[in-house]
Chains A and B, each alone.
Chain A
Amino acid sequence: MIKFFLMVNKQGQTRLSRYYEHVEIHKRTMLEAEVIKNCLSRSKEQCSFIEYKDFKLVYRQYAALFIVVGINETENEMAVYELIHNFVEVLDRYFSRVEKWYVMLNDQEVNDNSHYHLTKTNTHLSFFFQSELDVSFPIMFNLDRVHIILDEMVLNGCIVETNKNRILAPLFVLDKMAES
């Protein structure tokens, strides 16, 4: 059972949060702060699973972006760990379509070709996730899309869909409607 899903940048700002169990708003900020502190304090050689209070955190770092998932005892840590990656891959696939548009838009800000090369060398991860800058921009600008993707994948704390085509299908339909 997944309890919450967080996307945080290295500065500790929450980019996206989704709770599958009711947590009061003021408690959320506290929880997020502590969770981030816990994750940030860990080195890359250390285990990606943390026991925190009565649940476990599974986190994965993509350049400047952390994705942290809180799960309970019954969940399989490794499966969640891979789910995060799957999620990122889905984001990658979706945003790779709008990448050009995005780069044009933010030409001034992301005018750094070295990062672009990184994208070329690592086919798995998109440009954005490789950048060392705080490039959760695409996520920030398209937060609604990210939410839709997440909702397709995780529902009521359960992993419901992992097939990339199927996850993105409704989104593409939406985009098509928006275009026409």
Chain B
Amino acid sequence: MALTVVSQIFPREMIPAVLPLIEDKLQHSKEIIRRKAVQALYKFYLIAPNQVQHIHDKFRKALCDRDVGVMAASLHIYLQMIKKNASGYKDLTESFVSILKQVVGGKLPIDFNYHSVPAPWLQIQLLRILGLLGKDDPRTSELMYDVLDESLRRAEINHNITYAILFECVQTIYTICPKSDLLEKAAKCIGKFVLSPKINLKYLGLKALTYVIQQDPNLALQHQMTIIECLDHPDPIIKRETLELLYRITNGQNVTVIVQKMLDYLRQSKEEYTIINLTGKIAELVEKYAPDNEWFIQTMNAVFSVGGDVMHPDIPNNFLRLLAEGFDDEKEDEELRLYAVQSYLSLLEEEDTFYPQKFLQVMSWVLGEYSYLINDGDPEVIITRLHRLLKQTFVTSETKAWIMTAVTKMSSRMSCSKTVDKLIQEFSTSLDTCMRQYAFELKHLCENKELMKNLFPLDASCDEIMVDASLSFLDGFVAEGLSCGAAPYKPHHQRQEEKLSQEKALNFEPYGLSFTSNMSSSGFTGRQSPAGLSLGSDMSGNSAELGQKETNCLKLDGVRKLWGKEGYLPKKENKTGKEDKTQPVPQDSILTAHVVDPPLMQSEQQVVSLSEEEKEKQQLASTLFVGLGSNSTISLMGRADIITQKLKKKSKISETQNSEEASSFQNIATLPFSPLPDTTPNNKENFQGNEHLGLRKISLSSSEVLEASVSFETSQSVTEVGLDEQLSNCRLSTSSLFADSNIEVFQPPQNVPDIVANKAPLSLCLPEELAGHPHSEIVELCSSDILTVYWCKVWTDDCSRLVLFVANNSTSPLKTVNLVFESAEHFKIFESLSCHFPVIEAQSMESCQKCVQLEKVCTEGVLSGSISYHLDTDTHLEFSLTFSLSDFIRPMKMTTEDFGRLWLSFSNDVKQNLKMSPSQGSLSIALNALKQKLKLHIVEIIGNEGIAACRLLPSVPCLLHCRTHARTLALWFRSSCSALPDSLLYQCQKVMEEA
């Protein structure tokens, strides 16, 4: 009894206490006790598989128990274990097969029979196990063929339980590696099931068919007629199962019929769960196989109206995305959209019909976005219909918001509308604050058509609108604000927005700096042109700020939310990636971002219609990807000359981007880059930006050097010959030379007259006393528009030094800059946790050093801190950096004798065997890898054994003894510190894995 309780409820914490007792019981003389003990172990396995790992051999014993019950109980454990890891138990296949053979052959005591079938549930269990074992394994499967055949043959008595066995058999046969005559028999079996008048059997047959059909679609053909009959079966459950089957065999040809059937079923079913499930499946099929537009829209309409509000939100989202992004064919897209608009219009025509909220939302979005596609239709009519909807009581406020958005979008395309005016009046006094706000926004927008057109460009539903949001809108506002000083007729939040941008205009340069953050700061410094202002405000934003601005200036909240999930966000990331090069955006994605951008900018200003825009985009894309980045730059610049000041600025941005693009193209394709025509000073600046980028990475790799050189080549104003020499220096330079060559290379830019002087501070060089030591590359830690912090680690003999460079990017000196580290759990920072710079001159750089020590042994830890400065307002920047144990490990020189003595004196040791890959063939190679990565000192190597020593700063020694033995590397650490061996072992493992 106690054992039964154990196997029912048991806390995992108590397992260790009880386990030995239960293990004892496994040897008990009574079968029932043994059986219960095994069941209890099964429970343990379920709740804590690790704790019973050591008694796996006892399970085996149970499997071979002379009593059937005990054996059967152990099968449950095996089923679970085999489910997890089938390959580990292949050797048991034979035992399972022989057990099944005995069971099927009737060797069991008579009381195990159920309706004269020997132990049917046991058979089913065994068949399941065999199915798992034989999956994708021809050798194991071979062992089973006989017994499966036998089971099929024996199970011919007409009783439910034999059907159950047959069903399991069929499943197993189709799971394991197929054998033709078995398959044939199984197929026959299924046929019998499906054709059976017994309804339960029919169900089983359909289920089996559904399972089998993925492997063998021909079987479905054989039973075509039966399946069709089942479709019209009075029992909905049978229908349901048939639909499931059909869903699996759907293809391009039969999709219409199948979806039609599914829709019929959907209309009848009431249960929420079924609806959700089925709508999902239909939508999937429709999207995958839709033969034509008309059908697609019709079907989706049906899905929306039936599925209503319970269906998964992904379905309408996907649908809208499909509409918006379209397929490859432009014409087709337009037809699709046009058709969608028409069908929705006709749907809305009928008064007083109820549609689910989600369907209404979809409708209003599509109407708002694409209603212009109808040439003959009067937008007034559409608005009237939408207006009518707004007044319906069943429409929720969320849907109302969608509708309002649609109305707003549409009214931007027409000159004046009475309905809109009426609508505005009506809702300006609405009790719903949300609606009231929308109405006001609409009203104000209506009074300023120009702005409105800008806000809602035609067919900007996809990614385009995002780009608009972050660039052109603000631009428009700012330009206007500048031209007339104030901004009349603008909603409050827009005014605020504008004010914000103007504020930023005051300290404009910093924003220019941050735009080029990693590209270095030179890009826009000192250009006081007002046009740059909005650029500054745009570019300075991080993505969060961007998002906020978008929602502020665009009243498309409903739509925005929707897009935020899908197509929109990734794009935004690309943008941020572009604006802020600190993010490691893959080259490709940067490229695509660029590809998308330039034509957009043109299109905004020239109000290019959609198709042209896209074509242009494609053209540009193709040209770009051919690798002729310079072409596009030229063409852009050509445009830049003829357009206004504001536009000029934009083209400059794109130049920047293009030049970046160009260099990255060069980097990838290493194509010769044709020099750009002579450009404005800005252009040069931009290139210098690239120089910086390239140069800072010189120590990294030669490919980066290439990039740098490319940007030098493109920059015509720079004397190429001289540079080339310097660059070759760079290539040769080691990291310690880095600083020097850096300075040299930076001389030329200073000679260029147009540039604001003083680029030098940005050349990052280590203090002389540290330059000789190995160090990590200097990377940016954090930055604001005013200052940038770079950091690197320097590994000196006695400590790990953290060197921080604080660069003032602005034109005015920064006062009282404070850098403070938070006290970390694992690390200790010497001298003090803070660093204070009384003043940092404009465009100059200060550095500070901190000695970091590991206080508590850990494999990796984070050191965080913040930097604050005062300029107009207090600004606070946070950063964090990672240190790993290997930063604090230094070699420890000693002799073999010393090693022996020390080895004996240490008590903390850890041993571990690591697998070596063939490439790490010998011990010396492996040890050298460890030496390089972990800075060990190799004391001696004798044959297949080696000893090494290291110390954890300041002076905690750790000894390593290693030995190779047939592809394994046995590592043995000893140290006086208890935690050190463990952590070091972890580091070693990592090194070995990497190597």
Please report A residues at the B interface, Cβ cutoff 8 Å. Answer: 45-54, 76-79, 81-83, 85-86, 151-152, 155-156, 158-166, 169-170
A151 contact set on B, CB distance < 8 A: 4, 8
17 further interface pairs, Cβ-Cβ under 8 Å (given A76-B167, A156-B43, A163-B112): A45-B235, A46-B199, A47-B200, A51-B240, A76-B168, A78-B163, A78-B164, A78-B200, A78-B204, A81-B164, A82-B114, A85-B160, A156-B46, A161-B72, A166-B32, A166-B69, A170-B32
Q: What are some 6 contacts across the A-B interface (CB < 8 A)?
A: A50-B237, A155-B43, A156-B46, A158-B76, A165-B111, A169-B32
Known contacts A45-B199, A49-B203; is A76 also within 8 Å of B76 by CB?
A: no
| A158 CA to B83 CA, complexed, in Å | 15
A164 contact set on B, CB distance < 8 A: 111
- Tally the A-B contacts, defined by beta carbons under 8 Å: 103
Q: Is the interface of B mostly helix, strand, loop or mixed?
A: helix
CB pair A161–B69 under 8 Å, yes or no, is: yes
Among A53, A81, A155, A158, contact of B273 (Cβ-Cβ < 8 Å): A53
Chain B: interface residue count, which band?
35 or more
Q: Give, as a whole number of angstroms, the nearest-CB distance from B119 to chain A.
A: 7
Is B124 located at the chain interface by the 8 A CB criterion? yes
CB contact list, B141-170 vs A, under 8 A: 160-161, 163-165, 167-168
| A162 CA to B35 CA, complexed, in Å | 13
Q: Give, as a whole number of angstroms, the nearest-CB distance from A144 to chain B.
A: 12
Leading 8 A-B pairs by shortest Cβ distance: A78-B164, A79-B164, A82-B161, A47-B199, A46-B235, A47-B237, A53-B273, A165-B111
Closest to A48 in B: B200
| A82 CA to B163 CA, complexed, in Å | 10
| A66 CA to B32 CA, complexed, in Å | 31
Is B121 located at the chain interface by the 8 A CB criterion? yes
Q: Give, as a whole number of angstroms, the nearest-CB distance from B195 to chain A.
A: 16
1/0 per position for B20-58, CB-CB distance to A under 8 A? Answer: 000000000000100100010011001000000000000
Which of A78, A79, A86, A159 gathers the greatest number of chain B CB atoms within 10 Å?
A: A78
| A151 CA to B274 CA, complexed, in Å | 33
B8 contact set on A, CB distance < 8 A: 151, 155-156
A79 contact set on B, CB distance < 8 A: 120-121, 124, 161, 164-165, 168
CB pair A51–B237 under 8 Å, yes or no, is: yes
CB pair A76–B164 under 8 Å, yes or no, is: yes
A83 contact set on B, CB distance < 8 A: 121
B111 contact set on A, CB distance < 8 A: 163-166
B43 contact set on A, CB distance < 8 A: 155-156
Is B293 located at the chain interface by the 8 A CB criterion? no
Is B238 located at the chain interface by the 8 A CB criterion? yes
CB pair A47–B238 under 8 Å, yes or no, is: yes
| A160 CA to B70 CA, complexed, in Å | 10
Closest to A79 in B: B164
Q: Give, as a whole number of angstroms, the nearest-CB distance from B613 to chain A.
A: 47
Closest to A85 in B: B160
B203 contact set on A, CB distance < 8 A: 47, 49, 77
Which of A52, A79, A159 gathers the greatest number of chain B CB atoms within 10 Å?
A: A79
B240 contact set on A, CB distance < 8 A: 51
| A77 CA to B164 CA, complexed, in Å | 8
Closest to B38 in A: A160
Among A47, A81, A82, A160, contact of B76 (Cβ-Cβ < 8 Å): A160
Which of A48, A82, A83, A170 gathers the greatest number of chain B CB atoms within 10 Å?
A: A82
Q: Give, as a whole number of angstroms, the nearest-CB distance from A27 to chain B.
A: 15
Is B73 located at the chain interface by the 8 A CB criterion? yes
Q: Give, as a whole number of angstroms, the nearest-CB distance from A12 to chain B.
A: 18
B120 contact set on A, CB distance < 8 A: 79, 82, 162
| A124 CA to B69 CA, complexed, in Å | 25
Closest to A49 in B: B203
1/0 per position for B721-758, CB-CB distance to A under 8 A? Answer: 00000000000000000000000000000000000000
Known contacts A47-B200, A78-B164, A151-B4; is A160 also within 8 Å of B73 by CB?
A: yes
| A54 CA to B272 CA, complexed, in Å | 12
Q: Give, as a whole number of angstroms, the nearest-CB distance from B731 to chain A.
A: 63
Known contacts A49-B237, A76-B124, A79-B120; is A156 also within 8 Å of B7 by CB?
A: yes
CB pair B121–A81 under 8 Å, yes or no, is: no
CB pair A160–B72 under 8 Å, yes or no, is: yes
Q: Give, as a whole number of angstroms, the nearest-CB distance from B270 to chain A.
A: 11
1/0 per position for B161-197, CB-CB distance to A under 8 A? Answer: 1011101100000000000000000000000000000
B112 contact set on A, CB distance < 8 A: 162-163
A85 contact set on B, CB distance < 8 A: 160
Q: Give, as a whole number of angstroms, the nearest-CB distance from A17 to chain B.
A: 15
| A78 CA to B163 CA, complexed, in Å | 7
Which of A45, A46, A163, A169 gathers the greatest number of chain B CB atoms within 10 Å?
A: A163
Which of A49, A52, A164 gathers the greatest number of chain B CB atoms within 10 Å?
A: A49
| A151 CA to B43 CA, complexed, in Å | 14
Closest to B112 in A: A163
B35 contact set on A, CB distance < 8 A: 161
Closest to B274 in A: A51
Q: Give, as a whole number of angstroms, the nearest-CB distance from B701 to chain A.
A: 52
| A77 CA to B709 CA, complexed, in Å | 71
A52 contact set on B, CB distance < 8 A: 273
| A54 CA to B160 CA, complexed, in Å | 25
| A51 CA to B112 CA, complexed, in Å | 31
Which of B168, B199, B237 gathers the greatest number of chain A CB atoms within 10 Å?
A: B237
| A45 CA to B237 CA, complexed, in Å | 12
A49 contact set on B, CB distance < 8 A: 200, 203, 237
